């Protein structure tokens, strides 16, 4: 048994934030039915290269443990199938714009008052930007996230992954789980809304609070930290590595046991974190000079013996091959493209990791089986959308 076994999720979302949120629900046992546009499907099916066979790596990363149903929501038949699916669902997730919802008459809680309906948008519906399509790049730019990313003297920089989308997905997943718990107590569903913009703003955490407290614009510190020193990337004789000396004790251990410069720990300019922040330039220059005398591997070994937080700066390929990553990379077997490796959910329950489960579905793979469950004859749908495999381990509740 998984925590969300028995729950049915109707997923009308596409691209990243919505599909990632529903994948998280699927990881913990929910049955997720992904509703896609006939012939085209989710845009990320075509976002590549790279591809594995004819499936994009992007799509593979956020659509496991789902069934795919193709419905033309603008047609009477498609709209009726969607209504029947929503009527049985515990959770509905969408990322339609307000105008699209109005055009489709998409109102899940009118159909099913007990459903948890989560809308993911670019901007909140009570703002002037409600009708503006949302993209991660725009959320990073508009929220200030780009302005605090990059080198101090350089241009604002987008983070290397669609982080606003990813954060939004996790906010949505948490809110959905909380609303499901609330329904257990009240018997009532809920209408949830989360936007990329508000999720990005909320995720600025201490940076946003610093600005609210001081009234000053946030700065850009590159690989350093505005409030902790030393907490940044340094350069050894061969490659970069990162040190996170987040406490005065860590700094003392760094000076005495790693660098073997005990006088540095006693220097009045550096003895507390506040003083180190004020004298950042002087201290960092001293540390950089020392760190260039040995290899990064040597410094990492010394730091770990002294319990000073440290890591090599790795590339993604190198990180995925590190011993710490082996437990969360799993080989998946896909009927259409064969075996490929994927990253599984990182959470463990009672010491056990959740297996990845079923691979992402092909477009419309489960249309016929799901429509049959909903009491709709396959003959009333387009043949191109009716290709099916046996239904999943959890059938939609009648």
pLDDT in tens, 4-30: 999 999 999 999 999 999 999 999 999
Query: Is the model's pLDDT at 395 over the cut of 50?
Result: no
- Domains in the chain: boundaries: 8-203+352-385
165 is catalytic: yes
213 or 384, greater pLDDT: 213
Q: Which of 223-232, 322-331, 356-365, 379-388 has the lowest mean pLDDT?
A: 379-388
Determine the Cα–Cα distance for residues 138 and 132; give it in Å rounded to an integer. 10
The DSSP bridge partners found for residue 36 are 70
Q: Which pLDDT value is given to residue 379?
A: 61
Q: How many CA atoms lie within 13 A of 272 on its CB side?
A: 2
For the segment 170-177, the average pLDDT, to the nearest whole number, is 98
**Residue 56, beta-bridge partner list:** 51
Q: What is the pLDDT of residue 208?
A: 97
The residue assigned the tokens 């590549």 is: 48
Residue 167's alpha-carbon distances to 20, 25, 204, in angstroms, are 10, 15, 11
Closest to 91 (Cα-Cα) out of 224, 192, 217, 207:
192
Report pLDDT for 366.
97
What pLDDT digit, counting tens, does each position of 295-310 carry?
999 999 999 999 999 9
Residue 131: pLDDT over 90: no
Beta pairing class for 310-312 and 240-244: antiparallel
Distance of CA 253 to the CA centre of its chain: 35
What is the SS3 assignment for 19?
A: helix
Judge: domain 8-203+352-385, CATH 3.40.190.10: no
- pLDDT above 70 for 387: no
| Residue range 361-372: mean pLDDT, rounded | 96
In this prediction, residue 107 has a pLDDT band, given cuts at 50, 70 and 90, of very high
**Rounded to whole angstroms, what are the CA distances from 23 to 18, 27, 117, 329, 395?**
9, 6, 16, 16, 18
Closest of 199, 185, 28, 35 to residue 121, by C-alpha: 199
- Rounded Cα distance between 226 and 207, Å, is 9
Q: Is 288 helix (H, G, I), strand (E, B) or coil?
A: helix
Q: What is the pLDDT of residue 133?
A: 85
Q: Are 138 and 112 in contact (CB under 8 A)?
A: no
In the predicted model, what is the mean pLDDT of the chain? 93
Q: Say yes or no to pLDDT of 190 above 80.
A: yes
- Give the Cβ contact number of residue 230 at 10 Å: 26
Q: What is the pLDDT of residue 377?
A: 82
Neighbours of 339 (CB within 10 A): 10
Q: Report the number of secondary-structure helices (H) and strands (E) in the chain.
A: 16, 15
pLDDT for res 253: 97
Q: Is the pLDDT of residue 31 over 60?
A: yes
pLDDT given for residue 354 in this prediction: 86
- What's the pLDDT tens digit per position in 145-169? 999 999 988 999 999 999 999 999 9
Residue with tokens 């410094």: 299
- Calpha distance 47→58 (Å, rounded): 6
Q: Where are the alpha helices (DSSP H) in 62-204?
A: 76-88, 98-104, 108-111, 136-143, 163-186, 196-202
| Of 249, 241, 204, 201, nearest in space to 223 by CA | 241
CA distance 366 to 26: 16
Q: What is the pLDDT of residue 398?
A: 31
Amino acid 267: pLDDT: 96
- Of 27, 42, 90, 165, the active-site residue reads 165
Q: Does pLDDT of 394 surpass 50? A: no
SS3 238: coil
């Amino acid at each position: 048994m998984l925590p969300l076994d028995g729950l049915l999720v109707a997923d009308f979302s596409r691209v990243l934030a919505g599909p990632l949120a529903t994948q998280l629900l699927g990881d913990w046992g929910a049955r997720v039915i992904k509703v896609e546009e006939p012939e085209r499907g989710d845009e990320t099916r075509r976002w590549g290269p790279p591809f594995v066979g004819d499936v994009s790596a992007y799509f593979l990363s956020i659509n496991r443990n789902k069934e795919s149903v193709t419905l033309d929501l603008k047609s009477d038949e498609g709209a009726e199938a969607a209504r029947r699916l929503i009527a049985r669902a515990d959770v509905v997730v969408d990322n339609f714009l307000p105008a699209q919802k109005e055009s489709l008459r998409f109102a899940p809680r009118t159909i099913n008052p007990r459903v948890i309906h989560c809308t993911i948008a670019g901007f909140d519906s009570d703002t002037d930007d409600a009708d503006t399509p949302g993209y991660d790049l725009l959320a990073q730019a508009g929220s200030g996230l780009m302005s605090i990313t990059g080198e101090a003297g350089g241009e604002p920089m987008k983070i290397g992954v669609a982080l606003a989308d990813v954060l939004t997905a996790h906010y949505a997943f948490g809110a959905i789980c909380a609303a499901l718990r609330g329904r257990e107590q009240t018997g009532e569903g809920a209408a949830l809304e989360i936007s990329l913009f508000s999720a990005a703003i909320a995720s600025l955490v201490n940076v946003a609070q610093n600005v609210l407290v001081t009234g000053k614009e946030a700065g850009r510190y590159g690989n350093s930290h505005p409030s902790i020193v030393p907490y940044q990337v340094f350069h050894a004789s061969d490659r970069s590595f990162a040190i996170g000396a987040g406490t005065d004790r860590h700094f003392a251990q760094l000076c005495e046991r790693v660098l073997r410069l005990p006088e540095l720990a006693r220097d009045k300019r550096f003895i507390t974190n506040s003083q180190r922040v004020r004298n950042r330039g002087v201290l960092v220059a001293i540390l950089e000079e020392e760190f260039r005398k040995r290899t990064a591997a040597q410094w990492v070994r010394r730091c770990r013996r002294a319990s000073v937080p440290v890591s090599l700066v790795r590339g993604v390929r190198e990180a995925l091959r590190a011993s710490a990553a082996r437990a969360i990379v799993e080989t998946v077997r896909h009927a259409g493209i064969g075996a490929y490796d994927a990253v599984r959910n990182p959470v463990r329950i009672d010491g056990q990791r959740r297996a990845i489960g079923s691979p992402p579905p092909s477009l419309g793979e489960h249309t016929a089986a799901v429509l049959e469950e909903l009491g709709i004859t396959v003959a009333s749908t387009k043949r191109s959308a009716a290709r099916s495999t046996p239904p999943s381990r959890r059938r939609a509740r009648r």
